[in-house]
């Protein structure tokens, strides 16, 4: 499979998007390091060929940063995982901007309020960051917790979303 890779500039720094030949985002994040984007995927899910090109998702990301927080909602993504992971990633897309959940609240949304560690793992394994907004999940005590692309980026995204809310 041939995939497209594109890096754009955002207020939070370089943002790189990896999309398959059908323009579905496979991986994305706040870096210009292509290897860091590829490392978010299992070896079996990495594309054989990579070429620089325009992705449909880049326009959505730029629109998000310009204030249209819903621009990322309809971007197609391609994720591979367990049934629970797929359900979790889908549920992440239903969290409204400016209304973050705790890991406990996220686990409850998955119909298993005691599966807090599983909820955290789903967030940690989310490759198409921003488009599947795992940044909208906080520690149970309400603090930021971890984020693959850094706490500063997570905080910036949450502040941006809370202002527009």
Q: Which two tokens stand for residue 113?
A: 């309020």
* pLDDT at res. 165: 64
CA distance 145 to 156: 14
Residues with a known catalytic role: 134
Q: Number of helices (H) and strands (E) in the chain: give both, helices first.
A: 6, 6
CB under 8 Å to 5, separation ≥6 — which residues?
16, 17, 18, 34, 37, 50, 51, 52, 53
Integer Cα distance of 101 and 52 in angstroms: 35
* Residue boundaries of the structural domains of the chain: 2-72, 83-164
Element (H, E) at 156: helix 151-164
Looking at the predicted structure, is the pLDDT value of residue 159 above 70?
A: yes
- Which CATH topology does 83-164 take? Arc Repressor Mutant, subunit A (1.10.10)
Structure confidence by residue, pLDDT tens digits, 10-56: 999 999 999 999 999 999 999 999 999 999 999 999 999 999 999 99
- SS3 at position 121: helix
Radius of gyration of the chain (CA): 15
Q: How many residues does this entry show for the chain?
A: 165
Exposed, middle or buried: residue 42 (CB in 10 Å: 0-12, 13-18, 19+)? exposed
Dihedral angle sign, alpha carbons of residues 66, 69, 75, 78: positive
40-97 pLDDT, tens per residue?
999 999 999 999 999 999 999 999 999 999 999 999 999 999 999 999 999 999 999 9
């Amino acid at each position: 499979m041939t995939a497209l890779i594109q890096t754009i500039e955002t207020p939070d720094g370089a943002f790189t998007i990896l999309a398959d030949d059908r323009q579905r985002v496979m991986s994305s994040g706040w870096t210009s390091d292509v290897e860091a984007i590829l490392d978010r995927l299992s070896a079996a899910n990495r594309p054989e060929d990579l070429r620089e090109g325009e992705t449909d998702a880049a326009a959505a990301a730029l629109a998000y940063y310009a204030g249209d927080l819903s621009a990322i909602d309809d971007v197609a993504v391609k994720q591979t995982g367990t049934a629970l992971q797929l359900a979790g990633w889908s549920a992440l897309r239903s969290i409204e901007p400016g209304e973050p959940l705790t890991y406990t609240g996220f686990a409850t949304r998955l119909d298993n309020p005691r599966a807090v560690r599983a909820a955290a793992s789903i967030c940690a394994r989310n490759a198409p960051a921003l488009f599947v907004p795992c940044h909208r999940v906080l520690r149970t005590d309400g603090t930021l917790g971890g984020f693959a692309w850094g706490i500063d980026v997570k905080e910036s995204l949450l502040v941006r979303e809370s202002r527009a809310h």
